[in-house]
Amino acid sequence: MGPKERRSTVLSALEEAAIVSLRVQARLPLDDVYIALKDVIPHLSRSSLHRCLQRHGISRLPKPDREKPKRFKSYEIGYFHIDIAELRYEGGKAFLFVAVDRTSKIVVARIYRKATKLVAAGFLKALVKTVPYKIHTVLTDNGVQFVQHDRRAERGFVDHIFGAVCSANDIEHRQTKPYHPWTNGQAERMVRTIKDGTKHLDQPNR
């Protein structure tokens, strides 16, 4: 008796996809996930978050990988990694933008319907307003949301809007090397796991 598939009566499929993505992407503790998403999902409570993690089998963080973790250089607070995760759910798809400070481990997340350069620039502006200290560096991949790719850019005639926001806020914009996703933190390394964790949300209601 009862529904064949366990579903939240509080969270939408998109909101659950965002929670799963952030949990798997950054491997954050429950309270950190809650803090990062409480502004994005105002009706989210700690208990509903915990139930969501239980439904998806990720209520406990995995044990540390056996492989020796790669060591990053020490940086002053204010060095953020920015990444985008695609969220697929029964209503279509959306995008989770995530920024993580290398030193303080502060996480800022926002959900958007599109992943364009205008959205990326808007997310950076929101990040600057949200973080209570100076952001001196952001690290992104070389996606079109962050970097200009046409020939005019090579000649210096085009300024990407994301770079313009960086310049306006005195932020250095660094990019990862092609085919070296590990330099952008855990997020890129966990793309496959994120897709595995959210693919069942594509299924329609029964």
In tens digits, what is the pLDDT along the chain, a chain of 206 residues? 444 455 667 888 888 888 888 888 777 888 888 888 888 888 999 999 999 999 888 888 876 544 444 455 667 899 999 999 888 877 788 999 999 898 888 889 999 999 999 999 999 999 999 999 999 999 999 889 998 876 655 555 457 899 999 999 999 999 887 654 444 444 444 444 445 555 544 443 33
Give the CATH fold of the 13-63+81-202 domain.
Nucleotidyltransferase; domain 5 (3.30.420)
Task: List C-alpha distances in Å: 130 to 6, 39, 42, 58, 106.
Answer: 35, 11, 16, 28, 11
Map residue 3 onto helix, strand or coil: coil
Other Cβ atoms less than 10 A from the Cβ of 41: the count is 21
Helix (H) or strand (E) holding 140: strand 137-140
Q: Which residue ranges make up each domain of the chain?
A: 13-63+81-202
Tokens coding 67: 């492989």
Distance, in Å, from the CA atom of 107 to the CA atom of 81, rounded to the nearest integer, reads: 10
3-state helix, strand, coil in the chain (%, to 5): 40, 15, 45
